[in-house]
Amino acid sequence: MAAIHRNGDSRACGATTVVSLQTDVYANDKLISVQGDPNSHGGGALNASINPGTIFINGLEMVVNGSTAAADSLCPIEGGAHCGPSATSGSVNIFAFE
């Protein structure tokens, strides 16, 4: 099972997720992240790479911890994790997918 990834949860590059593509579904009082949400460094659109196409929020696939992401605004200058700032944290008690 994978933890639900939410607004403010961490990314591999040290940024946090900025939920901006949905405004009404929460876990632990934080908006749940969906496909395409950026990070706080700019860019870094999340991929719902772990979602088997089963959970959608307002027509967008939900994102969980471990999901991949597009490069953010600091790639390639800073390189490394900025070129693939995947989701690295999530809820401690709300999970999806077995």
**Other beta carbons within 10 Å of 54:** 9
Interval 19-53: pLDDT, tens: 999 999 999 999 999 999 999 999 999 999 999 98
The pTM assigned to this predicted structure is 0.95
Q: Are strands 26-27 and 30-31 parallel, antiparallel or unpaired?
A: antiparallel
What the chain holds in terms of domains, given with CATH numbers, is 1-89 (2.60.200.60)
| Residue 48, CB-side half-sphere exposure with 13 Å CA sphere | 20
